[in-house]
């Protein structure tokens, strides 16, 4: 891990969230979803974001994805302000956002087609990532023929296939049963260990955050701000053994306490 930690320190920050504020107009009046949010993400970091429901996690992800704009402040990627959605950012949502009328391979090829990658190269790339998520036998299946876990594997393969600068994941395993979730966590870790990407991963699950992240960002209850950032120095590859270790559980408890304080605050 020392090598990659050094690489991170030597490079410019990949993403800079600079004094971002987001105010929604709603029937109840103004909702301040994010207030004075600042965050720097380094190249190839795996950031997990936890915090109470409604604290602005999805809002921040949508702004990072160029799907929404901040009321004030800005986000820069490689020094350039975000100005809309782009193939440079892959997004995986909680709900399986696959095209039902396309096969697994056509779904994974979709972003490559938009990028005008030629037919044979497209097929090759798609097949590589379909194989890496263990769905080789389902290449020509349609989404309705797949389980929830398999659909999310396709969504991850699709996001990876376009080789995005930034991968944004909004509770991607939140709708899966515990066993499938554990499996997909391990698979995503393996994929990331083999081919690092800058990941911004939102979750409700503190254990998931500690297993995956090299830094966990805890957000405060609404209006969302960054409450604290915790370095996760657990070595890679992280395995089932990591999950059982005292070190892992100490960190998990520390973060859980931080989040719990915010849950209590949010209820007031």
The nearer residue to ligand ADP, 53 or 228, going by C-beta atoms, is 53
Stretch that binds Mg ion, among 3-11, 43-51, 57-65, 229-237 (CB under 5 A): 57-65
User: Of 127, 144, 145, which is closest to residue 136 (Cα–Cα)?
Assistant: 127
The nearer residue to ligand ADP, 55 or 251, going by C-beta atoms, is 55
Asked whether the beta carbons of 23 and 31 are under 8 A apart, the reply is: yes
The nearer residue to Mg ion, 58 or 132, going by C-beta atoms, is 58
Q: Cα–Cα distance between 155 and 151 in angstroms, integer?
A: 6
Smallest gap from residue 255 Cβ to ligand ADP (A)? 16
Residue identified by tokens 């594997």 is 153
Q: Answer with the entry of Mg ion, ligand ADP, none that 227 interacts with (C-beta below 5 to 8 A by kind).
A: none
Smallest gap from residue 140 Cβ to ligand ADP (A)? 35
Stretch that binds Mg ion, among 50-58, 63-71, 84-92, 153-161 (CB under 5 A): 50-58
Smallest gap from residue 24 Cβ to ligand ADP (A)? 3
The nearer residue to ligand ADP, 56 or 90, going by C-beta atoms, is 56
Show the CA angle centred on residue 62, arms to residues 252 and 81, nearest 5°. 110
The nearer residue to ligand ADP, 25 or 194, going by C-beta atoms, is 25
Smallest gap from residue 171 Cβ to Mg ion (A)? 6
Helix 148-161 and helix 104-114, axial crossing angle in degrees, nearest 10: 30
58 binds Mg ion (CB under 5 A): yes
Instruction: List the structure tokens of 25.
Output: 């107009």
Q: Cα–Cα distance between 233 and 212 in angstroms, integer?
A: 11
Residue identified by tokens 């602005």 is 56
Q: Cα–Cα distance between 152 and 254 in angstroms, integer?
A: 30
The nearer residue to ligand ADP, 61 or 157, going by C-beta atoms, is 61
The nearer residue to ligand ADP, 93 or 96, going by C-beta atoms, is 93
214 binds Mg ion (CB under 5 A): no
Residues 6+ positions from 150 with CB-CB distance below 8 Å: 135, 138
Footprint of ligand ADP (CB under 6 A): 24, 26, 31, 33, 53-59, 222
Smallest gap from residue 119 Cβ to ligand ADP (A)? 38
Q: Cα–Cα distance between 219 and 226 in angstroms, integer?
A: 5
| Start-end of H helices in the chain | 2-10, 57-64, 104-114, 119-132, 148-161, 178-194, 206-212, 240-244, 246-267
Smallest gap from residue 135 Cβ to ligand ADP (A)? 29
Q: Answer with the entry of ligand ADP, Mg ion, none that 55 interacts with (C-beta below 5 to 8 A by kind).
A: ligand ADP
Residues near Mg ion, by CB under 5 A: 57-58
């Amino acid at each position: 891990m020392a090598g990659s930690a050094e690489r991170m320190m030597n490079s410019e920050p990949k993403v800079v969230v600079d004094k971002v504020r987001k105010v929604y107009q709603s029937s109840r009046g103004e909702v301040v979803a994010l207030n004075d949010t600042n965050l720097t993400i380094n190249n190839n970091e795996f950031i997990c974001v936890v915090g109470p429901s409604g604290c602005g996690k999805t809002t921040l992800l949508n702004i990072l994805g160029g799907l929404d704009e901040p009321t004030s402040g800005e986000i820069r990627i490689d020094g350039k302000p975000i100005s809309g959605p782009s193939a440079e950012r892959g997004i995986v949502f909680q709900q399986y956002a696959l095209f039902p009328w396309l096969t697994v391979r056509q779904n994974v090829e979709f972003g490559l087609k938009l990028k005008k990658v030629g037919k044979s190269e497209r097929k090759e790339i798609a097949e590589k990532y379909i194989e890496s998520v263990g769905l080789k036998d389902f290449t020509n299946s349609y989404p309705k023929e797949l389980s929830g876990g398999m659909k999310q594997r396709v969504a991850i393969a699709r996001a990876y296939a376009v080789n995005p600068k930034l991968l944004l994941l909004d509770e991607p395993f939140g709708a899966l049963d515990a066993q499938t979730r554990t499996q997909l966590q391990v698979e995503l870790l393996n994929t990331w260990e083999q081919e690092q990407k800058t990941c911004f991963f939102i979750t409700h699950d503190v254990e998931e955050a500690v297993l995956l992240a090299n830094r966990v960002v805890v957000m405060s209850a609404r209006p969302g701000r960054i409450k604290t950032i915790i370095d996760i120095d657990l070595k890679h590859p992280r395995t089932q053994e990591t999950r059982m270790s005292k070190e892992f559980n100490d960190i998990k408890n520390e973060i859980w306490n931080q989040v719990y304080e915010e849950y209590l605050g949010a209820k007031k």
